[in-house]
Amino acid sequence: MSALRPASRILAARTLRPAALSPLSAAPRVGMAARGFSSRSRQQHQHQQRQMPATAKAAVGPGALGALALGALAGWYLFSSGDSGSDGDSWRAVDFHRVYADIAGLLDDDDYDDGSYGPVFVRLAWHASGTFDRKTRTGGSDGATIRFAAEAGHGANAGLDVARARLEPLKRKYPGLSYGDLYTLAGVVAVQELGGPTVRWRPGRSDSKTAAHCTPDGRLPDAAQGAGHVRDIFYRMGFGDQEIAALIGAHALGRCHPTRSGFDGPWNASPTAFTNFFYTELLDDKWVPKKWDGPFQYVDKQSGAFMMLPADMALKTDPVFRRHVERYAADQDAFFADFARAFAKLLELGVSFPADAPVYEFKTLE
């Protein structure tokens, strides 16, 4: 793999708290060895780490949010056919700056995945919004139908109960906060607090009272498919090729889990930092089919520690997508700007906001 391009955005004012470092973002760590990282992978990680934008995490711990309490909450609301929710006007009594800070306080957890709930919060916001169909005007984050079993049970949503359970206490703390606003704001908080761009966000989503408005399965991208399928899914929502390439760059965050998507592994060595590394890895590494009993995916040839999905590889092989990938790999500022616009658009698909709903640009916690 060739040398990564220097990250163009420097956030010198932000610093990582030691407790916030994931097993993949600090060497040497026991967690890295446990995940099978080779010496080459650690060297690659260290090279990436030097280029990472520093991030800040709130010094607010989860407090009484114990695993048993979260599991009980998840069981209560996820599989119910209806709940009280919130209407489209109750947001006016909510202090969203406090909600932002409280969500940020839930991100860090050394016992969860790579040390942060941020990636799964982004995925929750994405999947709650990405069901929109511009022709039928159905789906999207308004209604928060992803919390009902009929939609939560879709294959693409496997594992998102973890994110909903983590956020559920905040719905109780802020009764006027709708689930739709909570889930989408959680995605914004995660992007920003993990070092990404500022994303404009506004409140005013209402909650469906029953599962009647859940969307049919199949509206979210199938990672096993190619460029044609990717375009079909995103064009249905109203996105163009440049926006598609920018949104998929969020794969810099997180990892795939065999118990969820069936796929396995992180995209890069810094899965809890929002960077342009998805693009640099996609272009600079040599990717080969993974030899295993799971679904078809790619791994980097040199270490086998990092992976790409078939839908990811479509961005490299499709000439139109590739132009955007090359631009974002060379210019992180350009990626951040385009992602912020596309992600804000995604979170608002299908929502009829009140005329007086304010637009927030939250500052990260320092």
Provide the annotated active-site residues: 127, 267
Render 297-330 in DSSP notation, one character per residue: -EEETTTS--EE-HHHHHHHHSHHHHHHHHHHHH
Which class for 256: exposed (0-12), middle (13-18), buried (19 or more C-beta within 10 A)?
Answer: buried
Residue 250 backbone phi and psi in degrees, to 5: -65, -10
297-304 long-range contacts, Cβ below 8 Å, gap at least 24? 297/256, 297/263, 297/264, 297/265, 299/265, 300/1, 302/1, 302/40, 303/37, 303/38, 303/40, 303/41, 303/44, 304/38
Please state the φ and ψ torsions of residue 332, each to the nearest 5 degrees.
Answer: -65, -35
Pairing of strands 307-308, 287-289: unpaired
DSSP code of residue 20: G
Which amino acid, one-letter code, is at 251? Answer: H
Helix, strand or coil, per DSSP, at residue 2 = coil
Other Cβ atoms less than 10 A from the Cβ of 29: the count is 18
- What gap in Å lies between CA 294 and CA 364, rounded to an integer? 39
Angle (CA) 14-17-22 rounded to 5° is 110
Pairing assessment for the beta strands 298-300 and 287-289 based on DSSP bridges:
antiparallel
The tokens describing 194, both together, are 């993990």
Cα separation, 22 vs 2, in Å, equals 25
With residue 102 as reference, give the H or E element that holds it.
Answer: helix 96-104
Taken as a whole, the chain contains a residue count of: 366
